[in-house]
Structure 1
Amino acid sequence: MLFAVTCGAFIAQTPSPAHAAAPKPGRYKFSYEPADPKLLGELDEKLPNASVGGVLDGANRSGRACEAPVERREVSFCWNDDDAATRKWMPQGITTSADATADGSYQGREVLITSWYDTASGGEEDKGARITFIDVADPAAPVYRHVILAAPTHGDHGASFTPIRIHAGGLAWYGDRLYVADTWRGIRVFDLSHIWRVDGDSPELLGLQPDGTYQGYGYAYVLGQSGLFRHSTDDGEPGLRFSFLSVDRTGGPDALLAGEFAEPGDGTRLARIPLGSEGMPARGDDGFVRCEQIHVVGIGSMQGVAHVGDRYLFATSDGDGNGGDLSSWTPGGKTVTEHDVFPPGPEDLSYWGPDKRLWSLSEHPGQRFVYAISAG
């Protein structure tokens, strides 16, 4: 069923593009590269481990209710003044506890997680990527805390960690694992049992220091990477660009969805990656994870995807000064686009199944909103 026309929205229909040869999903694969378990174990021993609930109990920032300029808005909020205006960090991905579990809660909490990347320029240090845990028990008055992402490594004085310098354009939370899009490498994995409390009093330092302290660029918590699903292809198939991620709980075994941003968008693809019984992408007898489906969508400037019923819904950007669009697509069917549904700079999508809501966020300073709309 297609979206109905809403007040102020213009709907355009375009046929899906034709292609000479459909991509073969089995040629798109991933090899798993786990973090050194000894390093993870040493860091777990040296640093206090925190739960998601513990991080939220110590939330040190508050959002505020605001009216995001979106169609079919059900709830929205804004960051605090610093996060709303900063040009140092750019928000990108979003996922929710309704991705993590079927009933919508995690450790008894209703939670959003967003990602940000450091826009470092002009000689500034690139601090990589961070995520934000947001308690939305009261979405009109959310509380939240930023956590830096880091990769375990062998330091000069023992187990340490380094920044993860990626765009972090998409997130997918499933069970106890957080998946983060790495544009050209594949999908990074973070086990939420490795949230480490650090000293956090030195904004310019990360990892183990000569004085024996562990620093987190001024943040109190670090989330350590537990692995990487590195992407490759067989037989000359062009590799995927990992611009956004989501969890697919619709139509068959649960899966990850990964898609591509491109402009004008001819040939852009959407991959479905099946999840196994332990909540990790399922590896075959040859040790590789292989895509279950590869769809050629052909939509330009895609920023996020959600699978709702028989439709794939895409958030697409339309330049700095224009509202973002929402496209509905079914394999083999037409693309139906509602224009100016979102604020300028829409990003990732996440479907909150129990409430039939789409969550998203916008990136531009001064126009940053986090919002949920009816999925129709």
Structure 2
Amino acid sequence: MSAAPLAAAAGGLVLPSTARAAASDYRVRMRERPLEPVSYTYPSAIAGLANELPAAPLVQEVLRNADREAVANPGGWAKPTRLTYSFGWDPSTKDGTTREWYPQGVSTSYDAYQGPLPGTNTDADKRAVLVSWYAKGASLGKGARVTFVDVTAPSRPRYRHVLLVEPKKSAGEPYDFSPVNVHAGGIAWYGTRLYLADTRGGLRVFNIDQMFQVSTGGAAARWCGYHAGDKKYYALGYRYVLPQSRAYDNAGAPLRFSQVAVDRTTPQPSIVVSEWRPHSQNGKAVRWYMNPETSSITSEEAVEERRIGIANVQGAVSVNGTYYFSVSDGTTRRGRLYRRPRGNARDPYGYLSIGPEDLSYDGDRDGIWGLGEHPRKRHVYVVGR
């Protein structure tokens, strides 16, 4: 695929004159079962869980049952350039301060549907933001979660955490699941599927319409999966779980799947994977086309690769051929937003929050969503383009 030239290099940010078709350099391979030998597939295990658990809830149900209240447009923080909207996590919880969970990825219902959530009932036209987190410290081993935030009424955002799980089945045992222990550095919500960056593995995929409700009493806080003692399913206290349905393994040239974002401005919708390289400007942004009918990647081979030319990139998104990159600058200084090909290759396009992470473009706002990861600096926000 031919691509428009990038901006000329300047100030040490060396960029190629063109992006190039990746041929078979960067590839992914889809699989529907774990890497170890097993007798089940992810879809078959999910079908087995469906026979044991309440009917899978829709995204609208999770939003309707949001149990935490975010704070719209809070003050008292180092705000990004061109800020148009923001929210902070519920102050009555530890979401904004905990060192056991760190937010990383962001995607929205615009990524998924190029507008609000579909439907004809009273929950139609909802707009949602999804944020991924990974467990750390005392919660290490508790996997990764995704937060569903209802921003339909921007002044009253509400949200709920959902645990990501890997379904499984052992011979003679009930269908089960366990936490998904990945960094969750980026997410891309496209159609009915949620793509999760698995740094060295590739992309894990979750069918957004295959969530399950589990028990929240008894052993809920300490157990994940089937509990033989009372024959119930628990999820470390979470009410909903979202099981993995497939994966796209890193099958070509070595690539760090650090972040992932949807691009609906290409002739065919696509996703862009970008690399975090803390001491190198040689990180790549690599693109695959998507199938709008199945929400899947169309082929193994990537259709474009670009050398980023900036170190320490935490998030990347492409809009009408222009790339935007978030770059962190420690725990006390605001991060920076770079724009290519327009803009000076040496200077940032503006500032982001302290500790910026993943990016996501919202065409309804013509803005870019971002977020901060550090305790007490965890705002989710939109900046204008």
**TM-score (norm. length: structure 1):** 0.88
How far residue 148 of structure 1 moved from its aligned partner, in angstroms, is 0.3
**Does the CA-based 8 Å contact 2:127-2:150 persist in structure 1?**
yes
Q: Looking at secondary structure, tell me which structure has more strand per residue.
A: 1
Cα separation, 2, equivalents of 1:135 and 1:106: 14
**Does the CA-based 8 Å contact 2:96-2:376 persist in structure 1?**
yes
* 1:283-322, Cα deviation, whole Å (9 max, x unpaired): 3xxxxx1100111112111111121223100111011111
Aligned to 1:28: 26
Question: Aligned-pair RMSD on alpha carbons?
Answer: 2.1
Q: How many residues align?
A: 351
**Does the CA-based 8 Å contact 1:323-1:339 persist in structure 2?**
no
How far residue 18 of structure 1 moved from its aligned partner, in angstroms, is 5.7
Q: 1:224 aligns with which of 235, 243, 249?
A: 243
Cα separation, 1, equivalents of 2:140 and 2:269: 39
Cα separation, 1, equivalents of 2:126 and 2:67: 17
Aligned to 1:294: 305
Aligned to 1:145: 160
Q: 1:61 aligns with which of 68, 80, 86?
A: 68
Q: Deviating runs (4+, > 3 A) in structure 1?
A: 12-15, 21-25, 104-107
Cα separation, 1, equivalents of 2:63 and 2:15: 45
Aligned to 2:48: 42
Aligned to 2:215: 199
How far residue 193 of structure 1 moved from its aligned partner, in angstroms, is 1.9
One-letter code aligned to 2:274: G
How far residue 38 of structure 1 moved from its aligned partner, in angstroms, is 2.1
Q: Name which of structure 1's ranges 101-110 and 76-85 shifts more when overlaid on structure 2.
A: 101-110
Q: 2:59 aligns with which of 52, 56, 59?
A: 52
* 1:322-360, Cα deviation, whole Å (9 max, x unpaired): 1000001129x9625327611210011010012201111
Aligned to 1:100: 112
Alignment of 1:252-331 (within 5 A): 252-276=267-291, 277-283=293-299, 289-330=300-341
**Does the CA-based 8 Å contact 1:14-1:334 persist in structure 2?**
no
Q: 1:111 aligns with which of 118, 128, 148?
A: 128
Alignment of 1:343-354 (within 5 A): 343-354=353-364
**Does the CA-based 8 Å contact 2:256-2:276 persist in structure 1?**
yes
Cα separation, 2, equivalents of 1:360 and 1:125: 25
How far residue 16 of structure 1 moved from its aligned partner, in angstroms, is 2.7
**Does the CA-based 8 Å contact 1:26-1:292 persist in structure 2?**
no
Do residues 356 (structure 1) and 356 (structure 2) align?
A: no
**Does the CA-based 8 Å contact 1:318-1:345 persist in structure 2?**
yes
Aligned to 2:259: 244
Cα separation, 1, equivalents of 2:21 and 2:114: 31
**Does the CA-based 8 Å contact 2:16-2:307 persist in structure 1?**
no
Cα separation, 1, equivalents of 2:237 and 2:110: 30
How far residue 103 of structure 1 moved from its aligned partner, in angstroms, is 2.5
Cα separation, 1, equivalents of 2:12 and 2:29: 37
* 1:45-65, Cα deviation, whole Å (9 max, x unpaired): 211111100011111000112
Cα separation, 2, equivalents of 1:307 and 1:45: 41
Cα separation, 2, equivalents of 1:339 and 1:192: 34
Cα separation, 1, equivalents of 2:284 and 2:212: 36
**Does the CA-based 8 Å contact 1:150-1:162 persist in structure 2?**
yes
Cα separation, 1, equivalents of 2:301 and 2:16: 24
Cα separation, 2, equivalents of 1:243 and 1:195: 25
**Does the CA-based 8 Å contact 2:99-2:137 persist in structure 1?**
no
Q: Which consecutive residues of structure 2, in runs of 5 or more, have no partner in the other structure?
A: 1-9, 34-40, 120-124
* 1:122-168, Cα deviation, whole Å (9 max, x unpaired): xx551010000000012232100000000001156310001110000
